[in-house]
Amino acid sequence: MTEKSRATIFPFFGFGQSRSLSPYSRQISGRLRRSTLVTLRWMAIIGQTMALLFVAWGLGYNLPLMPCFLVIGLSVIVNLAVTFLAPLDRRVEDVEAIAQLGFDLVQLAALLWLTGGMNNPFALLFIAPVVTSATTLSRPVLALLGILAACLSLAMIYYFQPLPWSQEGFELPFMFRLGSWFALIVGMIFTSAYAWRSARESRRMSEALAATEAVLAHEQKLSALGGLAAAAAHELGTPLATIRLTAKEMSRDVKPGTAQAEDIDLLLSQTERCRDILQQLGQRGDEGDLIHDNLSFDVLLEEAVDPYDNMGGTITIDIVMEGEGQPPIVYRRAELMYGLRNLIENAASYAHSEVILTGKWDEGQVTLIIEDDGPGFNASVKDRLGEPYVSGRAERSKAGGLGLGLFISKTLLERTGAKISFNNKPKGGAIVSLIWPKRALSKPSLTG
């Protein structure tokens, strides 16, 4: 079945609908491995066999063992066929998932028909395949399997072989069987919804964390390149100085105006140019220099603000220092710089005219407050800001992002030891407060 036909037949359940998910990890229908289905079916086969033998031989009830074992044998055949005809390490698509889990439901219904229908307490096992689909498969698969389980269990109210608990058999009142069916459906809906919600949140968090790790790896790679450039500049400086000194000594022995003198002058000019290039490379490598990575808090903020200062000439970003004495010395690291720049960019993007960064410090902690005069955070999601795929000011979003910016910034800054809070100003505008223990910013190792 094509994606277009699925969208036509099942629009309500979400076939064909686009999902706004992380670019680092797309949601796919096949999240359940074939080996998992095979393992679960072997467990069901063993459990069903043991239950039948215990009831027949242990409790002495006259069950129709031969038909029951024929039904269980069908599961054995299906499992062997899947094992030998298909690779078990692959993920199953929606069609195969419906076929395999649907067979499990039909096989269970056949066993229940032979052993009392809804009178059999093992009827609750109808929940198992549906919950399995809720945790790993798509909503359309979950809906189809839920409908199939509901229909089969409903049929078990009316059509079944009586349990041989006595010579006349055993049969519960119809209303009790109907109530059991309703309880089964309610339990199926509740457990499936809970499992689907939990699995969805887990997938979203995994995707968001993958995006965070990708951003951090990118920043660390840039930092490593800067350190490599500084090391190369340092190593090349010594031989270049030797070449320059030798060229100067040669120029003393050569008469001015000759061809050799012109060549030596050219060599000296090129060594000067190389020295300038190496100095620029050394400056670019400051991010990998342990000495230059220790800088005062105000200088760190100026560096973070620099790419966004005077954005288009309409937004001004001011830095205010209110601590006692000299600003503390902090250690620059990739996650700290990226997190701060992301928050500053967010504030500047939504501000009407001004962003203010206020730095405070005392003996125990360092505080940074980022304020803007924009529309502020959306009150309906303010308490959830920092969670993946939650955008706080979507009504004015210029990029139509996925809501990962604040999550990535919050995650990276928390790894540096920061505590972050999001609030709105009484007269309009947003406030982001960051508080670090002072010792956390002075150490090169991560504390979060």
Structure tokens at 354: 């001004």
Measured distance CA(411)–CA(259) in Å, rounded: 64
- Supply the CATH classification number for the domain 294-442: 3.30.565.10
Domain extent listing, the chain:
3-10+28-172, 215-288, 294-442
Cα dist from 322 to 177, 296, 302, whole Å: 73, 14, 15
pLDDT of residue 28: 40
Q: Kindly tell me if the per-residue pLDDT of 2 is higher than 50.
A: no
pLDDT of residue 288: 45
The gap from C-alpha 214 to its chain's centroid, in whole angstroms, comes to 11
pLDDT bracket for residue 438 (50, 70, 90)? confident
Q: Kindly tell me if the per-residue pLDDT of 424 is higher than 60.
A: yes
pLDDT of residue 280: 64
Cα-based torsion angle of the residue sequence 145, 150, 153, 155 in order, rounded to the nearest 10 degrees: -110
Cα dist from 439 to 275, 296, 418, whole Å: 39, 14, 11
* Cβ-contact 270, 253 below 8 angstroms: no
Residue range 176-200, pLDDT digits in tens: 888 888 888 898 888 888 887 777 7
Helix (H), strand (E), coil (C) string for 247-310: HHHHHHCCCCCCHHHHHHHHHHHHHHHHHHHHHHHHHHHHHHCCCCCEEEHHHHHHHHHHHHCC
Cα dist from 109 to 117, 258, 341, whole Å: 8, 104, 60
pLDDT of residue 195: 80
pLDDT bracket for residue 88 (50, 70, 90)? confident
Q: Read off the pTM.
A: 0.48
Residue range 20-31, pLDDT digits in tens: 333 333 334 456
Measured distance CA(193)–CA(365) in Å, rounded: 44
Measured distance CA(249)–CA(183) in Å, rounded: 99
Average predicted confidence (pLDDT) for the chain: 77
pLDDT of residue 412: 80
pLDDT bracket for residue 152 (50, 70, 90)? very high
Helix, strand or coil for residue 327? coil
User: For the stretch 165-195, what's the b/e string if a residue is b when 16 or more beta carbons lie within 10 angstroms of its beta carbon?
Assistant: eeeeeeeeeeeebeebbeebbeebeeebeeb
